Structure 1
Amino acid sequence: MAVKLTERMKKAGTPERFAGGAALDRKEQRRLDQAKGLVPFAVKLDAELVGEIRGLAESRQMSLNDLVAVLLRKGLAAGA
Structure 2
Amino acid sequence: MSMKKTDLDRLAGLKLDTALRGQAAPGRFGQAATALPDRKARRKLDAAAGLVPFACKLPAALTEQLRERAASHEGGINALVAELLAQGLKA
Q: Equivalent pairs: percent with the same residue?
A: 43
Change (3 A) 1:25 1:74: same
Q: Which residue of 2 aligns with 1:64?
A: 77
Q: With the length of structure 1 as denominator, give the TM-score of the two structures.
A: 0.76
Q: Distance in 2 between matches of 1:43 and 1:14?
A: 33
Amino acid at match of 2:17: K
Q: Which has the higher contact order (CA 8 A, sep 6+)?
A: 1
Q: Which residue of 1 aligns with 2:50?
A: 37
Q: With the length of structure 2 as denominator, give the TM-score of the two structures.
A: 0.68
Number of aligned positions between the proteins: 76
Unmatched tracts of structure 2, length 5 or more: 1-12
**C-alpha root-mean-square deviation of aligned residues, in Å?**
2.7
Q: Distance in 1 between matches of 2:67 and 2:22?
A: 30
- Please say which structure displays the higher CA radius of gyration: 2
